[in-house]
Chains A and B, each alone.
Chain A
Amino acid sequence: MITKRIIPCLDVRDGKVVKGTNFKGVRDVADPVEMAKFYNDSGADELVFYDITASIEERKIFSEILTSVASQIFIPLTVGGGINTLDDFDRVLKCGADKVSVNSGAIKDPTIIERAAKKYGDQCVVLSTDISLVDGKYHLFTAGGQKDTGIDAIQWIIDGVDHGAGELVVNSIDTDGVKGGFDLDMLDLIASKVNVPIIASGGAGCMEDFAELFKHEGIDAGLAASIFHFKEVDIRELKQYLRDQGVNMRI
């Protein structure tokens, strides 16, 4: 059977990998190409790159980094950040991305999901969401998790999958950066509503958090950044630990 996936996420700005806590207080880590190689050697099942730059010049640097990674590392690569049009899909796919993640681009124009799915196939379109519990309801957030759109996040995801999103990255703002474990209630709710792979994001603090995550049927992958970047959790050790716990892992 298919293995559960461990995915490090690399936020890239000014040609470097960064990671903030609760999206604030961003700090520099390292060279993205070197880090990608390190994670590939450690047994990462996939890599996610987010381009968190704003300017066109910086976007060019990001494209160069991506091309360099895709020329040396042969595992699936998902790319997000600044994806607003089909031209953006095209740009990152040409640099070697396999899947493209849309977040605020889909909030601005929801038709991009269907148009991209038709052009590149469902498997290529990843819907990424930042979600927080507001007055007992899950709301969809934008602008790096700072702005409440007021949109019902669960319905948003159901609609996104109906329109061709082939995979979901579900990030909980409430657990992100807190390192107290994944937002399992939210993840369970989403898993009960859709039948596409779910990548859980936000909250991983230790190996046990991943073991707890994969007890929940319907969750396919765990994504994290800082705990991997700062070597608090080693991916090789994590995967061996999970396998020992009975989780199906690619070692």
Chain B
Amino acid sequence: MIAIVDYGVGNLFSLQASLKYLGFEAKVTGDKNDLKAADRLILPGVGAFEDAMAKLKATGLVDTIIDETSNGKYLLGICLGMQLLFEKSYEYGEHEGLGLVEGDVVSIEDDLSPTAKGKLKVPHIGWNALTLTETGDDLGRDPLFKYTKNGDCVYFVHSFYGVNCEKSTIATTEYDVTVTAAVRNGTVYGTQFHPEKSGKIGLDILKAFTELK
């Protein structure tokens, strides 16, 4: 069973439906025991960092998430769920994250070049192409992308992005700035894009996540 962590943030319909479509049992749950029993965890999220982090803390699930991942359970954070994995976010203030992946979350707008500022639309919404980080092994890229090729497009909706996370970056995309598209630290994964909204390519990424070992 894949546990989709329910902490009252975002619309989980598509995520659950996409996993079901792929033939997996996915449970939207805020129950500690479900998280412990699950084979894999997915941390979703939309909205603002501070509010989401507060809601996640209020569920009392933070320690369980940290314990389960440090015991080698695979976790995938999606969109804001990925941003929560970092150490810190500078979205409207300065807020502490889960610290499962080294790095910070900052505003895209603030980092745009002078020519793009005020012209390029933020949020970064739409389909953008992935550049997969080379790994030097036989596959040549992270196993999350075993069905994915360079240049494949996935769907993004966000105004903030991960930085200072070069070591864990497994994919990027270009939007005037180089946007961190996916990260990995051990069994902890995150995608800034929405695999559950990225058509066949997204479904293949979810499938690859369920096959990680």
Contact = CB atoms under 8 A, between A and B. Distances in A.
Contact of A76 (B46, B47, B155, B174): B155
Interface of A: 1-3, 5, 40, 45, 70-72, 74-76, 93-96, 98, 121-123, 166-167, 195-197, 220, 250
A3 B128 contact: yes
Given A93-B11, A98-B11, A2 B17 contact: no
A74 B21 contact: yes
B47 to A, nearest CB: 6
Contacts of B123: 122-123, 166
A5 B211 CA distance: 32
B126 A74 contact: no
Contacts of A197: 121, 125-126
Given A70-B13, A70-B17, A75 B199 contact: yes
Contact of A98 (B124, B128, B197): B197
Interface string B107-130: 000000000001101011111110
Given A96-B13, A250-B127, A74 B46 contact: no
Contacts, number: 76
Contacts of B203: 74
17 contacts: A1-B175, A2-B125, A2-B127, A5-B127, A71-B20, A74-B14, A74-B196, A74-B197, A75-B155, A75-B198, A75-B199, A76-B197, A93-B13, A95-B13, A96-B17, A121-B47, A166-B123
B103 interface: no
Given A2-B175, A93-B11, A250-B153, 8 more contacts: A5-B126, A74-B18, A75-B155, A94-B13, A98-B197, A123-B123, A167-B125, A195-B118
A71 B206 CA distance: 15
Contacts of A121: 46-47
Nearest to A44: B199
Contacts of B125: 2, 123, 166-167, 197
Interface of B: 11, 13-14, 17-18, 20-21, 46-47, 118-119, 121, 123-129, 153, 155-157, 174-175, 196-199, 202-203
A123 B121 CA distance: 12
Contacts of B128: 1-3
Contact of A220 (B20, B46, B118, B126): B126
Contacts of A166: 123, 125
Nearest to A3: B127
Of A45, A71, A167, A250, most buried by chain B (CB within 10 Å of CB) is A250
Contacts of B174: 1
Contact of B21 (A72, A76, A98): A72
Nearest to A251: B153
Contacts of B20: 71
B13 A196 contact: no
A121 B21 CA distance: 27
Contacts of A95: 13
Contacts of A98: 11, 14, 197
A2 B14 contact: no
B124 to A, nearest CB: 7
Of B118, B125, B174, most buried by chain A (CB within 10 Å of CB) is B125
B14 A96 contact: yes
Contact of A74 (B118, B129, B153, B202): B202
